[in-house]
Amino acid sequence: MHELWKTWSTLEIWNVPLTAFSISLLIILFTFLLKRFISRVLLNYLKRIVEKTETDIDDLLLQTVQRPLQLAIVGVGFYFARLFIIGYINDAVNAILNQGFQLFFIIIICLFLYRSADFFLAYLQKLAKRTHTQLDDLLLPYLKKVLRVMLIIIIIIKFAEIFLGMSVAAILGVLGGMGLTLGLVFKDIIANWFGCAVIYMDNLFQEGDWVSLDSGSIIDADVEEIGLRSTRFRNFDKTVSIVPNDTIARAIVKNWSRMHKRRVKFNVRLDGISSSIVEKLVADIRAMLADDNDVHQEFHMVNFREIDGNSRVIRLYYFTKTTVWKEHEQVRENINLKLLKLFETHAIERLAYIIVDLSDDRPEEYAVNGGEVF
């Protein structure tokens, strides 16, 4: 037995004693058995537990750690197996192995972070639902892509540092120069991204709102879709206009959909009537507006405003409670009919008055969302 052990201990494989080589192989074998046990037993057991929970976050977390954990076990096993043969390997091979292990564990960490992007995205999506802004909902998918691109860049940097001998400062300098160049090339796109952020942070408008930019000189239409680079508008004639977000951020935005009441303003020019009739008519119109449930009672005004030659000019200024276009028009129609009846009551002939509308009206035949009129 002693002779057999002595003979066994003198055997070598690639200049490595057979005993040390065998121990290394046993460690590697144990490593794969441990990996199999964790994968088939422990992780499956945890999977059955998380499937019973109501949230999906723990399922995503388990999926995130599964593959990196398996690779980490294999990497640690090979690292300890190497320790038993390290004294029999030349320095050049050891240096390569050290570099390989460094890169391997960096890849494992980056793989964990890469796969955790889905986990963090699911968690952030739940948080985003609690916020009032839609900016976070728009940026979350892009955040996932940016995170993954950054991790790939980190792997490339570490590879260049370990195997090519380049310093991190030199690599970052090169990447910084490239970033500056790309920033100048794509400055308009970047400006539009910041314009999108301004739209959401300042809450200028939402999809479905009717807005005008710079008093309608740029656009006067419905917001159909807010994108990261541009915003799509649906015009009154059903055509589509696309405006860069940078242009919107620099424009004066008037959001008509934010009205909580809608204005009506017009003048009535009456010819050849006495002061007593004018006085009674103004009083009756004021009473008529005050008694109408569809008129906003916060503020309305009726005044005998001026005398223009033989004409008496009466100004009507009031707001409808509704801002919906069709309902607003119906309220105006009802008020106009009541006004005509007052003219008849005071024996004012049709040819004796002229009505000049001064309201800020919406264009005719305005419709959105498949014909629903506002």
Q: Which domain CATH number covers 224?
A: 2.30.30.60
Supply the CATH number for residue 334's domain: 3.30.70.100
Residues 52 and 162 both lie in one domain? yes
Residues 136 and 208 both lie in one domain? no
Which candidate, 268, 253, 374, places its Cα nearest to that of 314? 268
Q: 83-135, pLDDT tens digit by residue?
A: 877 777 777 777 778 878 887 888 887 778 777 777 677 666 666 666 666 65
Q: 124-147, pLDDT tens digit by residue?
A: 666 666 666 665 566 666 677 777
Which candidate, 198, 199, 243, places its Cα nearest to that of 220? 243
Mean pLDDT on 266-283 = 88
Q: 207 lies in a domain?
A: yes
Q: 370 lies in a domain?
A: no
For residue 113, report the phi and psi dihedrals to the nearest 5 degrees: -65, -35
Residues 157 and 19 both lie in one domain? yes
DSSP 289-314: HHH-TTB-TT--EEEEEEEETTEEEE
Residues 12 and 51 both lie in one domain? yes
Residues 130 and 12 both lie in one domain? yes
Kindly state the tokens that stand for 362: 């919406």
Task: Identify the helix (H) or strand (E) that includes residue 195.
Answer: helix 187-201
**Range(s) of the domain holding residue 52:** 8-184
Residues 240 and 267 both lie in one domain? no
Q: 226-263, pLDDT tens digit by residue?
A: 888 889 999 888 899 999 998 998 898 988 888 888 88
Residues 20 and 103 both lie in one domain? yes
Residue 325: how many other CB atoms lie within 10 Å: 20
Residue pair 47/62 in contact by the 8 Å Cβ criterion: yes
* Sequence-distant contacts of 213-219: CB under 8 A, at least 24 apart: 213/243, 213/247, 213/248, 213/251, 213/252, 213/253, 213/254, 214/251, 214/252, 215/252, 215/254, 218/243, 218/247, 218/251, 219/243
Q: 364 lies in a domain?
A: no
Q: 189 lies in a domain?
A: no
Q: 366 lies in a domain?
A: no
Residues 264 and 353 both lie in one domain? yes
Q: 137 lies in a domain?
A: yes
Q: Which residues, in sequence order, are CB contacts of 115 under 8 Å at separation 6+?
A: 63, 64, 67, 68
Residues 96 and 173 both lie in one domain? yes
Q: 3 lies in a domain?
A: no
Tokens 């009726």 sit on residue: 302
Residues 170 and 240 both lie in one domain? no
Structural domains in the chain (count): 3
As separate numbers, helices (DSSP H) first and strands (DSSP E) second, the chain gives 11, 11
